[in-house]
Structure 1
């Protein structure tokens, strides 16, 4: 009888360990939106190394769209590749100090080949002109409005992280 209880106890402990690993071991890469200066996940978008995404916002003075194009790197950093905007002036860069190419195409200004690498991005959802969007997919075919997930004026940190099953289940997945 004592041998049976000991065996049952060992099996229970092993099952608990396996369940803990399944629930709490980070396994899936995601673009994670953390509430500013916390580890509280506001939302996440499943993403892989090499995937690109765009953050589009409406410039509060020019009232035209500004598109920032990013790529996920293998070390979970974020590389800004390009910025596209319509009006040259207040708040808009004239060139890239890190070797990017400034061009005017199709009625828009582009700074290409930026190669700016960030461990994270601090961002504020527009409050005055709340028209921030997140775009992703091979041909940028998916888009959501930040206001569907965040309050206007909300501040958050965007990082590429690995999430556990538990974090996936309790977080808000961004989807169309």
Structure 2
């Protein structure tokens, strides 16, 4: 009888340990390298703050572009807008359906109405130009934390403790 209770207690503890280790509970910004067999997930833990920005220097016209996003409904990403200085190659010069393009103080502002995505791929170019994720008043230098010349799937997801141990936390 005593041996049976010990086995039940050990089985219960094993199940609890597995749940704690393997249950995804930490919400993160995840950067998963694409085109590799065993990708490492680079991540930034999320807090209740739900807005973030990506700022980069455009590789052709060498001006800053600022993209505004918001995390909604668990893991969806809402595109809020963009601001940029030039309508040169690669930048929107008109608003499409459910978008508004305005010019104020020498900058163009493209605003999105109800534009939601699950993820996007970001390429880390090998040029010495800015590529920064701004979240919670801290700038994450993506060219420092991620490998240049590689592309990464960016998404909001939940990671388990095990996945966090296998991954790389960005600082």
Q: Which residue does the alignment assign to 1:24? A: 22
Structure 2 length normalisation: TM-score? Answer: 0.90
Change (3 A) 1:160 1:49: farther
Cα distance in 1 between the residues matched to 2:56 and 2:109: 15
In the TM superposition, residue 49 of structure 1 has moved relative to its aligned partner by 6.7
Cα distance in 2 between the residues matched to 1:96 and 1:30: 31
Cα distance in 2 between the residues matched to 1:130 and 1:12: 55
Q: Which residue does the alignment assign to 2:163? A: 167
Q: Which residue does the alignment assign to 1:80? A: 79
The CA RMSD over aligned residues, in Å, is: 1.9
Conserved 8 A contact 1:50-1:73:
no
Task: Report the structure, 1 or 2, having the larger strand content.
Answer: 2
Q: Kindly provide the CA deviation profile for residues 130-167 of structure 1, in whole angstroms up to 9, marking residues without a partner as x.
A: 42111112xxx210111221111210101111111222
Q: Which residue does the alignment assign to 1:154? A: 150
Q: Which residue does the alignment assign to 1:144? A: 140
Cα distance in 2 between the residues matched to 1:95 and 1:81: 16
In the TM superposition, residue 168 of structure 1 has moved relative to its aligned partner by 2.3
Q: Which structure 1 residue ranges, 5 or more long, are not aligned? A: none
Structure 1 length normalisation: TM-score? Answer: 0.87
Equivalent residues, number: 170
Q: Which structure 2 residue ranges, 5 or more long, are not aligned? A: none
